Amino acid sequence: MSSEQTVTVGVLALQGAFHEHIQRFMSLNALSATPSVRALAVRRPEQLEQCDALVIPGGESTAIALGMRRGDLVEPVHAWIASGRPIWGTCAGMILLARVATGGKRGGQELLGGVDIQVGRNGFGSQVNSFEAGVTFPALGAEPFTGVFIRAPVVDALLPDAGTVSVPQEGGINVSSANDSQDGTRPPLEILGWIDEDAMPSAPAGAAAPVWTANHSRPATPVLGPRPALDAQIVAVRQGNALVTSFHPELTGDTRLHAYFVNMALETM
Ligand code: GLN
């Protein structure tokens, strides 16, 4: 890497917390350890050509999907994912990058796929159940990452051996066929971050208890990386160059995850 190298990160800027992501990426430029970073608000397909990596922010996954459809961005982003270029979905972005999502409106949600997981929309409860929790994230060091969870999706299952998933696209279940692999060549899943049971918050006063869904349907193989305890809640997963986090790292001052993603981009350049 030459010292002048610039990484351009596109942030899909149709709806949601894109501005905060852009600020976090730009703030990396004050740190000497990272390369020069440019963050670009992406609204049109041709802007993707300028990008080395792409973020789908948190917000409302249905609204983002609709905006992508209207802006002719669905197919270009599919092609982006298929080509193995780095992509990171946070919260609503995680839902869009999941292979299967439950809890959506009937037929109401287009998924991009990219990561072989099944997520439940709003699985941690409603807005009043929003919370912060220390996320164990070994790739970022020993210090837990403060995860901000706002109507966040829950990872209900890892689907590394999914092959072709045939779930009817009705009853609030949406499935992306983008990851269908005839020859079993999907990259392995890597569990990157989780909330240990003792770090899970109790419900705020007056609010209903969050609905915690332990990820018990964990396959034995081929999942890379350290294994959290079975009662831990998985909140960050990587598969090849696709990264998903159920929380909002752009809403904290901790830029370790943004730096991690810039490094993912650098490795592909
Ligand atoms: N619950 C939202 C959805 O379904 C995601 C919330 C968020 O991104 N903070 O899209």
CB of residue 123 inside a 6 A radius of ligand 1: no
Neighbours of 48 (CB within 10 A): 18
Domain 6-268 is found in CATH 3.40.50.880: yes
Residue 40 bridge partners (DSSP): 10
CB of residue 111 inside a 6 A radius of ligand 1: no
Does the structure show a pLDDT above 60 at 2? no
What is the length of the chain? 269
User: In angstroms, what CA-CA distances link 268 with 21, 49, 132, 261?
Assistant: 21, 15, 32, 11
Q: Is the peptide bond before 222 cis (omega within 30 degrees of 0)?
A: yes
What separation in Å is there between the alpha carbon of 122 and the centre of ligand 1? Answer: 7
Q: Scanning the structure block, which residue is given the tokens 């440019």? A: 38
51 catalytically annotated: no
CB of residue 92 inside a 6 A radius of ligand 1: yes
> For residues 152 and 190, what is the distance between their CA atoms, to the nearest angstrom?
20
pLDDT tens digits, one per residue of 67-104: 999 999 999 999 999 999 999 999 999 999 999 898 87
Mean pLDDT of 129-141: 91
Query: What does the pLDDT read at residue 1?
Result: 45
Q: Residue type for 86, please?
A: P
Return the best residue to mutate from 60, 97, 129, 250 for the ligand 1 pocket (most ligand atoms within 8 A of CB): 60
> For residues 9 and 268, what is the distance between their CA atoms, to the nearest angstrom?
13
248 catalytically annotated: yes
Return the best residue to mutate from 14, 68, 122, 252 for the ligand 1 pocket (most ligand atoms within 8 A of CB): 122
Statement: the pTM of the whole predicted model exceeds 0.85: yes
pLDDT tens digits, one per residue of 171-201: 567 777 776 665 557 788 888 999 987 887 7
What separation in Å is there between the alpha carbon of 151 and the centre of ligand 1? Answer: 6
Domain limits of the chain? Answer: 6-268
Sheet order of strands, 98-102 included: 154-158, 115-120, 98-102, 174-175
What separation in Å is there between the alpha carbon of 80 and the centre of ligand 1? Answer: 23
